[in-house]
Chains A and B, each alone.
Chain A
Amino acid sequence: MPKDLLTLLLDFDDQVRKDQAQPAAFLHRRDRKFALACQAEGQRPSPRAWLRYVNAVTARPSPTRRNDARLTFWHRCTVGFAAVGAMLGVITMVGLLFYDGTNQINITVMLAFAALQLLLALLTSVQALMGWQPWGLLMERISSRLGYSPATGSALHSLQPQLMARAAHTGGLAFGITGVLTLIVLVVVQDLAFGWSTTLNTSPEAFHRFIRFIALPWQDLWPTASPSLDLVADSRFFRITEGSVETAPARWGEWWPFIVMTWLCYLVLPRLLLLAFANGHLGARARRQLARHPGLAALQYRMETPALDTGNAYSDAKDQPDLATTAAVHPVPSACVIIRWAHAGADTAPWSHSETHPEPALNLTAGGSASLVDDRQTLRRAGLQLSSDPRKAVLVVTRAWEPPTGELADFLAEARQSWPQGVRLALLPASVDPTGQPPQHQLSQWLRFAERQQDPLIYVCSAHAPAAPGHCDATGHTAGEVQ
């Protein structure tokens, strides 16, 4: 059914357009799930089934052929062609059978007209077969003037030649049917005189052979509708009638069965067959277009391909830590105790001793591979030194590249509790290169660590810091020398 196929094609095309706004991962999951469900049920995943699945909850019943808004233009077009064809059929036949008693109705003219109609019908089909649409622009304009959405870009666009052929054949069929009905009516209500006439030097025998050839399809079925040689010979007429043979008046009317059959056989029947062919052709084109629809290839790909989810749905990229700090890098204080956390800076001293910075009295270790008992021992020894030394500062050397952990925070908190009040705790992050200074991003993490301790006497120092401590901006850059 071409109409069903058309609706299917348009529904599919619409859904593919809607899907363009959906994330690819969602489409893949959805369609793969559909394919797996079909496989489980032993069904073939057709586009029709897919549409039912996609619209299972939200869709209304599919529009019937008469109320599908997307086809309204072509529906009206076909009805219009049929109405105009029917009207023209009546007018044309009345014109062809116009008889005022002065001259016979020429069979030759009627045959020529039927041949022209047959030719037009064939041309319409050839046009549709070849996909020509010289009237395409006109149809676009008419449809846009009537307020219909343009077919350009839609699935309907490439089917316009077939839709047009169907409308034209419907009009032609209506033309033929009303024409033959008008002929019968006029035959009944009027006394029509048919004859044949031609300027060519044709003998009645030759014309009879031609007529018999035309009447071949029905000569056995209805012999009366196949004119005899006598009738052909008797019904020839000339414009100038002097010297012509007298013919019985009843003979002139014996042509009408032939005319009716000619009209039916060469005008109505071809149109009917071509209309059926146009319908079939439209269906075949719609089916082919659906099969070649880029959306169908993509759908098949999604259905055949396993939906691989690598676990990329979770996102916390926006939950970045706040890297801003107001903490500053201070100069290295004159300390009485040095504690090397995890043996940091064990190779060389990351600062130079001077008169203002005499060597610390105690050089201890904590953290790293040391045990918690060792840490407590270190705290106790440092506490003893602090109680007797006027330099109330402890230098804690750390590895700048290792992030400060909870263990160091615990150690500092314990130190604060066990040591005398007012002792400064200076953290000195040592670089991998004993002579160099740590890079800024390493120094920044220590500044933020010191700030988190919320103790003004815990701070970060550097041998490269200026005498007056610089301030760190949000990125950790100091206003001083530290880079």
Chain B
Amino acid sequence: MSAAPVFAAVGHPNKGKSSVVATLSQNDAIAIALEPGTTRHRQTYPLTVDGDTLYTLVDTPGFQRPRRVLAWLEAHSLTASDRAETVAAFVTQHRGHDDFHDECELLAPVLEGAGIIYVVDGSVPYSAENEAEMTILRWTGQPSLALINSIGPDDYSDTWQAALGQFFQVVRRFDAVRAPFDQHLSLLKAFGQLEPRWEQPLERAVQHLQEQRLRRSEQASGLIATALEDMMLWQEQRILTATQATDQSKDALVNSLRERWYLHQRQREQSLRLTIEHLYQHNRIQRQEAELTWHSDHDLFSENSRQVWGVSRTYLTTAGFGAGALGGVGIDALTFGASFGTGALIGGLIGAAGSYFYGDRLTLSALKIGPLRDGLQTASFGPVQDSQFGYIVLGRAIDHWWHISRRNHAGRELLDLAPTESHWLEQLDRDSRNTLQRFFDKCRKNNNLDDEIRQRLRHAIEAAFAAYDDWRLNSA
């Protein structure tokens, strides 16, 4: 088996080499700073499948003295045929030399057979001083590709494209921070086309990455489903002595339990977010939630959240009708259709009425005080009687998932989960809407949830992912 291809990201300092590598290796722990010389040593990032390396990315320091290197090379080369050897000789000669430390680090992997990924910043004007770098790279004779990364808001990529085309086989534009996942795969395929023997491992890598993406989506829906069930069914309990039960006013008890209930729900939502982030290999995201800003407009229980993520009563009633009708169909089945759909109709009407009635009950979540036993009483708060709460949790979770699944690992900015303007659930297919409503109704009644409804819920959430994605794309 031939050795896996290696690709070295090289270029001028501070042009986004590390960003490109961070995004392609899905590593948000690579140091990226607007300071030249942040990368001082080459670092390898192999992509492995079951221990087999399919390709390796190498992040390298930027050129510091390209004109001096080129001058040395020109002084020591006789003909075009000895250029690669001359570059190798330069590295051998200057290894350990402080002035050429960065050049030796970046040229070494190329001389060992790595493909060249020359990274430039397309948001700043083209500069002829890059030509010495490009010439040195051409001297190595290795397959090469130029990548126009855009760090700033301006766009000079056309000029860059024209200039780079004279030095490199392939020139691609790639925004390391904002490029969608499809472009990552497309770029990897382009790497594979630099050399025929690299094509197959890169194709395999792309296939594995695509499958991983699909699996992550499935896993995310499972995680959200579990969290939704936990949060909808959560009951805050407190054991009271007989004295405590008589001394404490009911209002104070409700307030205390409600606060603890709220806190638990917030913590559960937080843990879901962390799990989703880790699933997508984002381990260092900074979110507003990490700070003590719970009572902001973005809070789980704020009126703002309710307005943004809650659904209308019409929606609730329609979904409730659908969910109830599903149950009523059972009656029709028992009568072999002799009831002419009356069961479905009655079930639907009951479901619609229940959803309408319970659709606005967040503030009226029940406090229950159990009987006195052995001098102790149990006071409990929850589960929530409001389907809206489920829609809020679901909406926020899917919004967070959407941002995380599309976030590149080169991104270092604060994750801003800005509220949306209108409701996206209206675009969800009817079956999924009914499944969601049926699930929320079962939770409200504290009914046992079986594996079938859990499975259906996961599918409904996956459908919601797709609906949300469409809605985002269409509203963008």
Within 8 A of A (CB), among B56-91: 56-57, 62-68, 71
B65, A406: Cβ atoms closer than 8 Å: yes
A369:B27 contact, CB within 8 angstroms: no
Contact of A311 among B33, B57, B131, B132 (CB under 8 A): B57
A319 at the interface (CB under 8 A from B): yes
B263 at interface (Cβ–Cβ under 8 A)?
no
Given contacts A311-B48, A321-B38, 8 further A-B contacts (CB under 8 A): A33-B51, A312-B45, A316-B30, A342-B127, A368-B128, A401-B152, A405-B13, A448-B35
Task: Select the stretch in A111-119, A239-247, A302-310, A465-473 that faces chain B.
Answer: A302-310
Using known A-B contacts A317-B284, A320-B38, A401-B124, determine if residue A308 contacts B49 with beta carbons closer than 8 Å: yes
| Residue picked from B33, B44, B131, B132, most chain A C-beta under 10 Å | B33
Secondary structure of the A contact surface, majority rule:
loop
A44 at the interface (CB under 8 A from B): no
Shortest Cβ-Cβ A-B pairs, 9 listed: A311-B45, A403-B36, A406-B64, A315-B29, A369-B128, A312-B27, A311-B25, A368-B129, A403-B14
Q: Determine if A445 and B50 form an interchain contact, defined as CB atoms under 8 angstroms apart.
A: no
Q: Give the tally of cross-chain contacts (CB within 8 A).
A: 144
- A308 near B47: Cβ-Cβ < 8 Å: yes
Known: A308-B209, A321-B37. A368 touches B29 (CB 8 A): no
Q: Is the CB of A342 within 8 A of B12?
A: no
A405 and B27 contact, Cβ closer than 8 Å, known pairs A309-B47, A368-B127, A445-B36: no
Q: B46: which A residues are within 8 A, CB to CB?
A: 309, 311
Q: Is A66 in contact with chain B by the CB < 8 A criterion?
A: no
CA distance A120 to B104 in the complex (A): 87
Q: Is the CB of B38 within 8 A of A402?
A: no
With known contacts A292-B451, A321-B33, A310–B63 Cβ distance under 8 A: no
Using CB atoms and an 8 Å cutoff, list the residues of chain A in contact with chain B: 24, 32-33, 36, 292, 301, 305-321, 323, 342-343, 367-369, 371-372, 399, 401-407, 410, 432, 441, 445, 448
B125 / chain A contacts, CB cutoff of 8 Å = 432
Which of A305, A317, A320, A372 is the most central at the interface, judged by chain B CB atoms within 10 Å of its CB?
A: A317
Known contacts A342-B128, A402-B124; is-contact A372 B33 (Cβ 8 Å): no
Q: Known: A407-B66, A432-B124. Is A319-B71 also a contact (CB below 8 A)?
A: no
Q: Quick one: CB contact mask for B297-311 with A, threshold 8 Å, 1 for yes?
A: 000000000000000
Question: Shortest distance in angstroms between A304's beta carbon and chain B's nearest beta carbon?
Answer: 10
> Which B residues are CB-close (under 8 A) to A319?
31
B18–chain A nearest beta-carbon distance, Å: 9
Nearest CB of chain B from residue A394's CB, rounded to whole Å: 20
Question: Is B476 interfacial (CB-CB < 8 Å)?
Answer: no
Cα A320 to Cα B26 with chains together (Å): 19
Which of the listed residues A32, A33, A402 has the most CB atoms from chain B within 10 Å of its own CB?
A402
Report Cα–Cα, A410/B48, bound state, in Å: 42
**Range of interface residues on B (Cβ < 8 Å):** 35 or more
**Contacts from B to A (Cβ < 8 Å):** 12-14, 24-31, 33-38, 43-51, 56-57, 62-68, 71, 99, 102, 124-125, 127-129, 131-132, 152, 154, 208-209, 211-212, 215, 278-279, 281, 284, 409, 451
Are A316 and B281 within 8 A (Cβ)?
Answer: no
For B284, the chain A residues whose CB sits under 8 A away are 317
A312 touches B35 (CB 8 A): no
Residues in B with CB closer than 8 Å to A316 are: 29-31, 43
CB contacts (< 8 Å) of A314 on chain B: these are 27, 29-30, 43, 45
Set of chain B residues within 8 Å of A308, measured between Cβ atoms: 47-49, 208-209, 212
Cα of A406 to Cα of B103 in the assembled complex, Å: 11
Contacts of B209 in A (CB 8 A): 308, 310
Q: Which residues of B contact A367 (CB under 8 A)?
A: 67, 129
Q: Given A307-B50, A314-B29, A316-B43, A323 and B35 touching (CB < 8 A)?
A: yes
Q: How far is the CB of A133 from chain B (nearest CB, A)?
A: 14
- Which residue of chain A has its CB nearest to the CB of B98? A406
| Alpha-carbon distance A309/B279, docked complex (angstroms) | 13
Query: Considering the chains assembled together, what is the distance between the CA atoms of A212 and B13 in angstroms?
Result: 103
CB distance from A117 to the nearest CB of B (A): 34
Q: Which residue of A lies closest to B48 (CB)?
A: A309
Question: In the complex, which residues of chain B have a beta carbon less than 8 angstroms from the beta carbon of A432?
Answer: 124-125, 154
Provide the bound-state CA to CA distance between A470 and B154, in Å: 30
Q: Assuming A36-B50, A406-B99, is B29 touching A312 (CB within 8 A)? A: yes
Inter-chain contacts of A403 with B (CB < 8 A): 12-14, 35-37, 62
Distance in angstroms from B151 CB to nearest chain A CB is: 9
Considering the chains assembled together, what is the distance between the CA atoms of A310 and B71 in angstroms?
A: 38
**Shortest Cβ distance from residue A255 to the other chain B in the assembled complex, whole angstroms:** 51
16 A-B residue pairings within 8 Å (CB atoms): A305-B215, A307-B51, A310-B45, A315-B30, A318-B31, A372-B67, A403-B13, A403-B36, A406-B102, A407-B66, A407-B67, A410-B68, A410-B99, A445-B14, A445-B36, A448-B35
Q: Are A404 and B36 in contact (CB under 8 A)?
A: yes
Q: Are A311 and B27 in contact (CB under 8 A)?
A: yes
Q: A398 to chain B: closest CB distance in Å?
A: 11
Residues of B within 8 A of A306 (CB): 49-50, 208, 211
Would you give the shortest CB distance from A5 to chain B, in whole angstroms?
A: 21
Which one of B24, B37, B154 has the highest number of Cβ atoms from chain A below 10 Å of its Cβ?
Answer: B37
CB-CB nearest in chain A for B43: A314
B278 to chain A, nearest CB (A): 7
B71 cross-chain contacts in A, Cβ below 8 A: 371-372
Greatest chain B CB density within 10 A among A310, A318, A342 is at A310
A residues in contact with B25, CB < 8 Å:
310-312
Q: Which residue of B lies closest to A399 (CB)?
A: B127
Find the residue from A306, A311, A315, A318 having the highest chain B CB count within 10 A: A311
Contacts of B36 in A (CB 8 A): 403-405, 445
CB distance from A379 to the nearest CB of B (A): 15
What residues on B are CB-neighbors of A371 within 8 Å? 67, 71
A229–B12 CA distance with the chains assembled, in angstroms: 114
Q: Most chain-B CB neighbours within 10 Å: which of A32, A36, A315? A: A315
- Please measure, in the bound complex, the distance between the C-alpha atom of A313 and the C-alpha atom of B44, giving whole angstroms: 10
Chain B proximity of A402: nearest CB distance (Å): 6
Bound-state Cα–Cα, A402 to B30, Å: 22
**Docked pose: A472 CA to B25 CA in angstroms:** 36
Interfacial chain B residues near A323, Cβ < 8 Å = 33, 35
Instruction: Output the nearest chain A residue to B29 by Cβ-Cβ distance.
Output: A315
B35 and A317 contact, CB distance less than 8 A: no
Contacts of A310 in B (CB 8 A): 24-27, 45, 47, 209, 281
**Max count, chain A CB within 10 A of own CB: residue among B24, B36, B49:** B36
User: Nearest chain B CB to A337's CB is how many angstroms away?
Assistant: 21
In the assembled complex, which residues on chain A have CB atoms less than 8 Å from the CB atom of B14?
Answer: 403, 445
Say yes or no: A445 contacts B29, CB within 8 Å. Answer: no
Task: State A399–B24 Cα separation when bound (angstroms).
Answer: 30
Closest to B54 in A: A308
CB atoms of B279 and A24 under 8 A apart? yes
Tell whether, in the assembled complex, residue B212 and residue A445 are in contact, meaning their CB atoms are under 8 Å apart.
Answer: no
Min CB gap B466→A, angstroms: 22
CA distance A401 to B43 in the complex (A): 26
A321 vs chain B, min Cβ distance (A)? 5
Are B68 and A321 interface neighbours, CB within 8 A?
Answer: no
A317 to B412 alpha-carbon distance, docked (Å): 11
Given contacts A319-B31, A323-B35, whether A369 and B129 have CB atoms under 8 Å apart is: yes
Residue of B nearest to A401 (CB): B124
> Which chain A positions have C-beta within 8 A of B51?
33, 307
Residues A407 and B68 in contact, CB atoms below 8 Å apart: yes
Contact B281 A312 (CB under 8 A): yes
Centre residue among A320, A343, A407, A441 by max chain B CB count within 10 A: A407
Q: Determine the distance from Cα of A117 to Cα of B65 in the docked complex, in whole angstroms.
A: 97
How far, in angstroms, from A248 to B13 measured CA to CA in the complex?
Answer: 120
State in angstroms the CA–CA spacing of A308 and B212 once bound together. Answer: 8
A405–B127 CB distance below 8 A = no
- The winner among A313, A403, A432 for most chain B CB atoms within 10 A is A403
